[in-house]
Chains A and B, each alone.
Chain A
Amino acid sequence: MKLSKKVVLLGHFGVGKTSLFRRFVDNEFSEEYKVTLGVQIKKKVVELPDGRELSMIIWDTEGHSDSVEDTRKSYLLGSHAFIYVFDITREETYKNLNEELEYLQKNYTKVAAKVIGNKLDLVNEKETTAYLEAQNIPFDCLTSAKTNKNVQDFFSDLAKEITS
């Protein structure tokens, strides 16, 4: 049976959701910022450790400027995982992260919610990790779509988690 899971990228505008999306699906990166209006959808087939193939249907949604509640509800229907992306260098993209996660976990109880801090290439990883931890900012992974750091590993781990 064909295995397919819907994964939705969420977060403020300009945090690099489309860059992560393109890096993961097409292994491409562009320095040019292009706003995403609505949603772009692509599929990537990944091989699971047990040999099965998983079609990850990635929904790259339009970034919001205030809260994830602004995201159109229909985009979230039938999701298996949310990836909340924030920009490490812009505090306003993660300062309400705990509230955002609470909202997702409360309204989408069966959907896995993951958090990525992106643009790792612009900061010192050790210092940033310590800073975010000290600020009580939860995150599952720090990535750089530009350098591809941690991107493939993150999606592989996510694929395993949502199929287990």
Chain B
Amino acid sequence: MKNYHEPLQFHQKTQVTSVSFEGLIIDTDASLFDWKKGDSIYDIHPFFEILSSFIEDHNGGSESYNFPCIHFEHGDDERICDVSIQIDKDISIILFDYTLKYSDLNLIAQQKNESILLSKELELKNKYLQEKEAFKNSFIANINHEIRTPLTSILGFVEVLEKTNLSFEQEELTRIIKRESKHLNSLIDDMIDISKIESGTLKVVEERFSFHTLIKGFEESYTKISEEKGLVFETKIDDNIQEYVIGDRTRVYQVLNNLLNNAFKFTEEGSVTFSISKNYQRTNKLNLNFKIEDSGFGILEENIPHLFERFTRFNHDKQISGTGLGLAIVKDLVDLLNGEIKVSSTPDKGTAFNIKLPFKFEVTKNTTQERKKKKYTLPKTKRKFRILVVEDEEITQFLIMKILISKGTFFVDIALNSEEAISYIERRTYDLVLMDLSLSKTDGFQTTHMIRKNYGDPYISEVPIIGFSGKASETARDKCLRSGMDDFIAKPFEQEELLYKITKQIAKKAAD
């Protein structure tokens, strides 16, 4: 390896050549190149063509020109020379051979330029990958919307179907359709989560919630499953854990639910134990240990390092559904929540997941009162409540109509677009408007804006409006509220939730 701190060794050689104004070599010492007297200098190398322009401009005086670092072929090799040209009564050409010096400099320049070009190339590749990633995420978000819309209809109609007189076989088939649709829905949720985690748009939300209610929810749902599977489900919760904590309820639920779901999925006999204890508590900070232990299939030691990788499935039993995304999401979410996750497992004996998650809690407030979901009832009246549904998709229109009409307390009008909605609203008084956000031409936000701003009649301008969309996100909800809507419901909506939100808005309006 060359040490560039060493002084450069030039070993300079020179060649002096005299040339006539006609371009013929008068004399040369031939110490570098084997040029011959009488040869035309123009035929030796194209560099010397420059002489013709100097000769043309020559006014009889003495002129000199210097050209550093000129490459001349020399057999299969090349010499790099500085060239000095002096024009007087004849032309003197002096070549200084600096091949060695320039080769050394060339190496340095090569390394410098290559590193700059390489970093530029990496920057470009990075930009390309980022663009690809953004496209992928936007594709997932859009395709999710397209899948959610028909799925809303499937789930909604299954719920309607469940309430009709069904034979045993039909009931069983309905149950399967519902289960599979819900599975598809959770798959979409997984895809959305992965895409949000990848794009960095999944933000941790801090909210105060009842920790005990959350755990009780798990107890209830998984006790039912354990009974169905003939397993023992045990929950151990440290009584000293605060009733209310501050953290991201949705994500904590998702992590624990995913792990519990897995534990039950891969355990055929024995038990699943869910224990929660305090790791530490300082000022308003709380760190909790969660342990989910099962007596299931277990995981081979060599598979454990790959457990949290995406699309990893070690169990190839087709009866056990899954995409291989669940644990990857769990790991990403735990990282996002600044927690830790560890796993230990013995094949055929079981697996234990240990998770540490940080929370906060309110020190001063009385935390014994639970904020319950307030109950609303429709105002007492003999008339039916009139709802305007603004939706261009026939299947969703039909589903909402079925849900509302089956209650017996609602009249429903359907508007296919913004224009029709405005026309209806000008002719009739409505108790509530259900507004699809992604209407063609004029969307739900613009239509709401028109209703709120263009009419002096408060029956029109103050009508409660609930927006709905397949793009379920906090952003969609915020955007609805900012554009003048009263609430938002994400597709696929459950019948109960839709009715709750409608009742709430009508009751609130009546109370005003």
Contact = CB atoms under 8 A, between A and B. Distances in A.
A44 B416 CA distance: 72
Given A14-B113, A33-B114, A74-B67, A38 B53 contact: no
A128 interface: no
Contact of A35 (B65, B70, B113): B113
A33 B113 contact: yes
Given A35-B110, A77-B53, A78-B54, A41 B69 contact: no
Contacts of A34: 110
Contacts of A90: 120
Contacts of A39: 67, 69-71
A37 B66 contact: no
A40 B71 contact: yes
Given A62-B69, A72-B68, A37 B106 contact: yes
Given A34-B110, A74-B67, A78-B50, A41 B116 contact: no
Given A14-B116, A33-B113, A33-B114, A38 B49 contact: no
Interface string A74-107: 1101100000000001100000000000000000
B456 interface: no
A87 to B, nearest CB: 9
Contacts of B69: 37-39, 62
Interface string B51-87: 0111000000000011111110000000010000000
Nearest to A61: B69
A88 B49 CA distance: 33
A49 to B, nearest CB: 23
B111 to A, nearest CB: 9
A43 B49 CA distance: 10
A37 to B, nearest CB: 5
B45 interface: yes
A77 B65 contact: yes
B117 interface: yes
A148 interface: no
Nearest to A14: B117
B117 A33 contact: yes
Contacts of B47: 41
A41 B72 CA distance: 8
Majority secondary structure, B binding face = helix
B81 to A, nearest CB: 9
A43 B105 CA distance: 26
B45 A41 contact: yes
B173 interface: no
B71 A38 contact: yes
A5 to B, nearest CB: 9
Interface in B134-165: none
A4 interface: yes
Contact of A6 (B45, B49, B105, B120): B49
B102 interface: yes
A63 B117 CA distance: 13
Nearest to B47: A41
Contacts of A13: 113, 116
B52 to A, nearest CB: 7
A6 B56 CA distance: 14
A57 interface: yes
**Interface SS of A by simple majority:** loop
Nearest to A44: B46
B120 A37 contact: no
B66 A41 contact: no
A160 interface: no
A14 B45 CA distance: 26
Interface string A15-47: 000000000000000000111011111110000
A55 interface: yes
B52 A4 contact: yes
B124 interface: yes
B109 A37 contact: yes
A55 B66 contact: no
A16 B80 CA distance: 21
A68 B109 CA distance: 18
A77 B56 CA distance: 13
Nearest to B123: A90
Nearest to B109: A35
Contact of B65 (A4, A37, A74): A74
A100 to B, nearest CB: 19
Contact of B67 (A14, A63, A75): A75
Contact of A74 (B66, B109, B117): B66
A35 B124 contact: no
A56 to B, nearest CB: 9
Contact of A78 (B45, B53, B70, B102): B53
Of A34, A57, A77, A78, most buried by chain B (CB within 10 Å of CB) is: A78
Most chain B CB within 10 A, of A37, A42, A57, A72, is at A37
A57 B66 CA distance: 19
Contacts of A42: 46
B50 A77 contact: yes
A6 B54 CA distance: 13
Nearest to B46: A43
B105 A37 contact: yes
Contacts of B106: 35, 37
25 contacts: A4-B52, A6-B50, A6-B53, A14-B117, A33-B114, A35-B114, A37-B80, A37-B102, A38-B69, A38-B102, A39-B69, A39-B71, A41-B45, A41-B70, A41-B71, A43-B46, A55-B49, A57-B49, A74-B67, A74-B68, A77-B50, A77-B53, A77-B65, A78-B54, A90-B120
Give 6 closest A-B pairs by Cβ, nearest first. Answer: A38-B69, A78-B53, A43-B46, A35-B110, A40-B71, A35-B109
Given A35-B110, A57-B49, A72-B67, 16 more contacts: A6-B49, A6-B50, A14-B113, A14-B117, A35-B106, A35-B113, A37-B106, A39-B70, A39-B71, A41-B46, A43-B46, A43-B49, A57-B46, A77-B65, A78-B54, A89-B120
